[in-house]
Amino acid sequence: MDPLDNPAWHALTGEQREFGVVGSLAARYCADVSPIAAVADSSIEATNELSQLVTPDEIVAVIKAGPVDASLWRELTTIELTQWVCDILEPNETDFTWIELHEGDAEEMQRLVKATDPGPFERLTHQLGDYVGVRVGGRLVSMAGERICFEGNREVSAVCTAEGFGGRGYAQGLVAEIVTRQHCANCKSFLHVRVGSPAERIASRVYAKLGYHERIRYPMKVLRRSHQLEPA
C-alpha cells in the first residue's frame, strides 16, 4: 500500500510522533494540535484501540476507519475527501509580499481559520510545519501551511483568505511558495479537499493551475467517544 493511502498513520508513527499518542493499531494527534486520528487498518480492533487514546465525549476525525463498536463510539458523520498531489509545480508569478508566520502569529491564524473554515486548526497546529501569510494594513488576510508530514511527503493545509480579499492571487501564491519548499526538500506535495465544500471549487481553479491532480478519494469518519470504558 502506498503510504499516501493512509497519511496520518504514517505521520503519527514516524516524523510527527512527538505531536501525538501512538498505539500498535491506532494513533491520534494531541487535542491541542489536531482532531485527526488514524488507524493502521480497517479492523474493528483498530477503532477499539483508538477509543483508549481518546477521552469521553472527545471528537476525532479518522481517515479510512472501518466498523466501530457502538458502545464505544457515536458516528457523527462521514466526510468524503479527495486527495490531490503535485509532482511538478507549474510556473506561478506573484505581485504581493508574503511573510513567514511564527508562534507570535498563532492566535491571529486561528481567528482567520475560524472566519473562513478551511478545516480544523487548533492552538498548536502551526507547529506541524511551515506557514506563510499575507498582511494588509497589519491584518492577516491570507495564509497557507503544512499539517500531515512524513518521509518524502508533506501536506498543504489551512489555505484560506479573508472575505473581501479574494481574487488577488494570495492563496495560489502562498500555496506555490509552500510547494516550492516541499519540492526543494525532495518531498511530494499533497492536500485534501472536502467534497461538496467551497474548497472543492477552489481546487479546480487554483490547485489544478499549480499542477495538482486528484489521486484518490476516501471517507473520513467523525466519531465521538462514548463513556463506555470497554467494548461490548
Q: What is the pLDDT of residues 23-36, one digit of tens each?
A: 999 999 999 999 99
Q: How far is residue 30's CA from residue 14's CA, in Å, rounded to a whole number? A: 15
| pLDDT tens per residue, range 79-98 | 999 999 999 999 988 889 99
Residue 68 has pLDDT above 60, yes or no: yes
Give the number of domains in the chain: 2
- Say yes or no: 47 and 118 in one domain: no
Q: How far is residue 148's CA from residue 214's CA, in Å, rounded to a whole number? A: 17
pTM of the predicted model over 0.95:
no
The verdict on residue 19 lying in a domain is: yes
Q: How far is residue 50's CA from residue 46's CA, in Å, rounded to a whole number? A: 6
Note the pLDDT of residue 221.
Answer: 97
The verdict on residue 101 lying in a domain is: yes
Mean pLDDT of 149-175: 95
Q: How far is residue 185's CA from residue 182's CA, in Å, rounded to a whole number? A: 5
- Domain range for 127 is 84-217
Note the pLDDT of residue 93.
Answer: 84
Phi, psi of 208 (to 5 degrees): -65, -35
Residue 106 has pLDDT above 90, yes or no: yes
- Say yes or no: 68 and 172 in one domain: no
- Say yes or no: 61 and 88 in one domain: no
Residue 231: pLDDT band with limits 50, 70, 90? low
- Say yes or no: 11 and 112 in one domain: no
- Say yes or no: 26 and 88 in one domain: no
Give residue for cell 516550492. Answer: 180
Give residue for cell 470504558. Answer: 229
Mean pLDDT of 115-127: 94
Residue 130 sits in a domain whose CATH number is 3.40.630.30
Q: How far is residue 8's CA from residue 16's CA, in Å, rounded to a whole number? A: 9
Average model confidence (pLDDT) across the chain: 94
Q: How far is residue 122's CA from residue 111's CA, in Å, rounded to a whole number? A: 10
Q: How far is residue 146's CA from residue 110's CA, in Å, rounded to a whole number? A: 14
Mean pLDDT of 53-67: 95
Q: How far is residue 23's CA from residue 15's CA, in Å, rounded to a whole number? A: 15
156 vs 6, 52, 55, 138, 181, CA distance in Å? 16, 30, 28, 24, 11
Name the more confident of 202 and 213. Answer: 213
Note the pLDDT of residue 206.
Answer: 86
